[in-house]
Amino acid sequence: MDPLFLLKLATMPVVIVAATLAGRRYGAAVAGLILGLPIVSGPISVFVAVEQGIEFARAAASGTLLGLVALATYCLSYGFAARRFAWPGALACGLVATASMAWLLDALALPGPAVVWFTSAAILVAIVICPTPGPAQPRQPPPAWDLPARVLVSTLFMMTVTLLAAPIGPTMTGMASTFPVMLSVMAPFTHRVEGQAAVVSMLRGCIEGLVTFALFFQVLRLTLGQWPAPLAYGIALAATLVVAAAVLALQRRRAALAA
């Protein structure tokens, strides 16, 4: 069997299990921050670089940055809709808004420098206008199927995107890699079990995590093809972890002040 195929199968379960357990231990906001990290798109980018080439992966990084605008749109749409609707209505609002934004961004065909500025501005606006969580409800344990379902969905998604990379091209590959698959599993479950405050807290954490997500792919956009690929990915990962730690510290400070 192809070693790369086996590596794909092994990568996502490890990443998703680690991220899920960390989120369960530290709460909805941290779970959202983890979802805002490139834990799915990052491995997809690596496999795309191996299978389609460095230049393809570099072009896909620009598509991923654009996809973050659609992802932020999902978080905002679901968050505001959760104030008025139960999880099915909020999920529908989030998915429709995401698909509409993705279609608009694809139609605009923004040049590379404009992508960076547009994405940065969109994330900043999303952080500013994101709804504030209401009173929290007691946390309840997740069902037994939750973690296996996350692993299965994310692994199938990664395999699908990497298989379709050549036919759909680098820009759409990058945008597709940011589609809120995991968020569309976690947000409704959190909303149903823990309530509106918890899901809004998670979505806010995700939006704040998009800062690190954008940094990762901006570093790749600038370094892939210029430096050896392992070095480019290593620096992108290191920069992401540093900024993620800073975002986490700010979240904890905000929580301490609110307590």
Among candidate residues 46, 66, 75, 53, the one with its CA nearest the CA of residue 175: 66
Supply the pTM of this predicted model.
0.84
What confidence score (pLDDT) does residue 22 get?
74
Distance of CA 132 to the CA centre of its chain: 20
Give the number of other Cβ atoms within 10 Å of residue 39's Cβ. 19
Among candidate residues 67, 101, 19, the one with its CA nearest the CA of residue 173: 67
Domain span at residue 133 reads: 3-258
Residue 1 pLDDT more than 60?
no
% pLDDT > 70, the chain: 90
Among candidate residues 37, 85, 56, 67, the one with its CA nearest the CA of residue 196: 85
What confidence score (pLDDT) does residue 77 get?
96
Per residue in 3-16, pLDDT tens?
A: 656 666 777 677 77
What confidence score (pLDDT) does residue 73 get?
96
What confidence score (pLDDT) does residue 172 get?
79
What confidence score (pLDDT) does residue 242 get?
92
Least confident of 52-61, 115-124, 129-138, 215-224: 129-138
Do 75 and 184 contact (CB within 8 A), yes or no?
Answer: no
Q: Is 195 left (phi over 0), alpha (psi -120 to 50) or beta?
A: left
Per residue in 49-90, pLDDT tens?
A: 988 899 999 999 988 999 999 999 999 999 999 989 999 999
Q: Which amino acid is at 45?
A: S
- The structure tokens listed for 42 are 């990052």
- Number of domains comprising the chain: 1
What confidence score (pLDDT) does residue 65 get?
93
Distance of CA 207 to the CA centre of its chain: 9
Per residue in 225-256, pLDDT tens?
A: 899 999 999 999 999 999 988 988 887 888 77
Residue 135 pLDDT more than 70?
no
Residue 118 pLDDT more than 90?
yes
Measure the CA–CA gap between 15 and 205, rounded to whole angstroms: 18
Measure the CA–CA gap between 194 and 175, rounded to whole angstroms: 30
Give the residue-averaged pLDDT of 150-169: 75
Tell me what the pLDDT averaged over the chain comes to.
84
